[in-house]
């Protein structure tokens, strides 16, 4: 089992990416709002008078969305990446996002077939 994680740069594309993941077979995605250091530091450098200017006038986005999903295998991760790139384009391009997987040793509280009791990988 693996944790599929994506930091999506353009939050306006969230629903498209979620639908692509669903169509690829990814289930149970958790979504969190997140912000990277390269978006926080420029705001702090601008000074307190302008720190929230873009938010007040709605002229800019500050954050990302980070997606998390427990998946069965690396094949599904590859399929999800292909689906993601069909929406966003090549992920090596700026302002798209980053996708990665990490091994999951054990899962509790997930329905079958994900979290079979005593199922370690």
Q: Please report, for the domain that includes residue 46, its CATH number.
A: 3.30.70.120
Task: Return d(Cα 81, Cα 4) in angstroms, integer.
Answer: 10
Smallest CA-to-CA distance from 23 within 86, 65, 74 is with: 86
pLDDT of amino acid 113:
63
Q: Is residue 63 one of the residues assigned to a domain? A: yes
Q: Is residue 119 one of the residues assigned to a domain? A: no
Task: Return d(Cα 19, Cα 23) in angstroms, integer.
Answer: 6
pLDDT of amino acid 34:
87
* Total domain count, the chain: 1
User: pTM of the entire structure?
Assistant: 0.75
Q: Is residue 120 one of the residues assigned to a domain? A: no
Contact criterion met (CB below 8 Å) for 115 and 109: yes
Contact criterion met (CB below 8 Å) for 35 and 8: no
Q: pLDDT tens across 56-94, in order? A: 444 455 678 999 999 999 999 999 999 999 999 999 999
Residue 120 has pLDDT above 50, yes or no: no
Q: Is residue 111 one of the residues assigned to a domain? A: no
pLDDT of amino acid 36:
80
Contact criterion met (CB below 8 Å) for 23 and 86: no
Q: Is residue 109 one of the residues assigned to a domain? A: no
Phi first, then psi: give them for residue 79, nearest 5 degrees. Answer: -65, -40
Q: pLDDT tens across 22-56, in order? A: 999 998 899 999 888 776 676 555 555 554 544 44
pLDDT of amino acid 110:
81
Q: Supply the mean pLDDT for the chain.
A: 82
Q: Is residue 40 one of the residues assigned to a domain? A: yes
pLDDT of amino acid 25:
97
Please give the structure tokens belonging to residue 64: 């990302």
Range of the domain at 72: 2-103
Q: Is residue 64 one of the residues assigned to a domain? A: yes
């Amino acid at each position: 089992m693996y944790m599929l994680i994506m930091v999506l740069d353009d939050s306006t594309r969230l629903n498209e990416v979620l639908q692509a993941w669903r169509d690829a077979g990814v289930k149970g995605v958790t979504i969190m709002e997140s912000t990277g250091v390269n978006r926080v530091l420029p705001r702090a450098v601008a000074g307190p008078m302008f720190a929230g200017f873009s938010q007040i006038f709605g002229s800019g986005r500050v954050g990302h969305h980070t997606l998390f999903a427990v998946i069965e295998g690396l094949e599904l991760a590859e399929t999800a990446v292909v689906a993601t790139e069909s929406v966003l384009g090549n992920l090596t391009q700026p302002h798209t996002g980053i996708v990665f997987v990490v091994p999951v040793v054990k899962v509790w509280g997930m329905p079958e077939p994900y979290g079979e009791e005593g199922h370690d990988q």
